[in-house]
């Protein structure tokens, strides 16, 4: 049995009109990010483009960072559904080690593709959070290690270490810009994603003694 869905935030209990407003605002925010970039998404601009009052936006999200946390919430829920019920090897039905490799590759891509949204989700005067989203990786990795029956002496600690290796480097990328000339020097986002994904596969294969 696969690990349960880990919610990014508390499940909302909303009136129908509030739920519709929320979806309108999230769809509008996504369109603005795609068209203008995250920097141009403000509370005022979002309200104007969505055709809703500014008070509605504040009540819904609280702060500008809250807009992006809500976007990450929705994206995280979709990602988890793919992991728990999507096609293999990411979803059920594949060899556990193959699923573990596929999970790390998919998670790396997920984090890096959403780094702009994740950066904007940080409160400007607040601390950097310990993870981009909920701690879904650790229980999922622990479940797959158990299914793989590798004879590991301490799979609980190892699952924590593997989750840290998977979620940590993208988080560093979120809070530190690429070095000057990084794109032209061959260390852009796509290259970083490939390096991290390949490194994850090597790590898992060593653990599994493949």
What pTM did the predictor assign? 0.80
Burial of residue 6 (number of CB atoms within 10 Å: 0-12, 13-18, 19+): middle
Query: What pLDDT shows up at residue 139?
Result: 95
- The structural domains of the chain, with segments of one domain joined by +, span 88-207
Q: Which of the four pLDDT bands, split at 50, 70 and 90, describes residue 165?
A: confident
- Three-class HEC string of 59-121: HHHCCHHHHHHHHHHHHHHHHHHHHHHCCCCCCCCCCHHHHHHHHHHHHHHHHHHCHHHHHHC
pLDDT tens string 25-37: 999 999 999 999 9
- Residues 6 or more apart in contact with residue 14 via CB below 8 angstroms: 22
Is residue 167 within 8 A of residue 115, CB to CB? The reply is: no
Tokens of 101: 């490799």
Query: What pLDDT shows up at residue 120?
Result: 86
């Amino acid at each position: 049995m696969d690990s349960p869905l880990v919610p990014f935030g508390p499940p909302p209990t909303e009136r129908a009109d509030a739920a519709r407003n929320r979806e309108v605002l999230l769809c509008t925010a996504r369109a603005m990010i795609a068209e203008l970039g995250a920097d141009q998404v403000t509370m005022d601009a979002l309200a104007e483009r969505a055709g809703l009052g500014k008070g509605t936006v504040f009540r819904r999200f609280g702060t500008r960072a809250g807009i992006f946390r809500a976007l990450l919430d929705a994206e995280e829920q979709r990602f988890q559904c793919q992991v728990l019920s999507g096609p293999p090897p990411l979803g059920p039905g594949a060899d556990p080690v193959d699923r573990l490799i596929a999970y790390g590759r998919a998670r790396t891509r997920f984090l890096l593709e959403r780094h702009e949204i994740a950066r904007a989700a940080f409160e400007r005067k607040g601390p950097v959070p310990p993870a981009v989203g909920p701690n879904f990786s650790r229980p999922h990795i622990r479940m797959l290690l158990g299914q793989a029956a590798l004879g590991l002496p301490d799979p609980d600690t190892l699952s924590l270490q593997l989750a840290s290796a998977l979620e940590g480097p993208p988080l560093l990328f979120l809070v530190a810009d690429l070095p000057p000339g990084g794109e032209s020097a061959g260390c852009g986002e796509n290259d970083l994603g490939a390096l991290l994904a390949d490194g994850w596969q090597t790590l898992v294969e060593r653990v599994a003694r493949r």
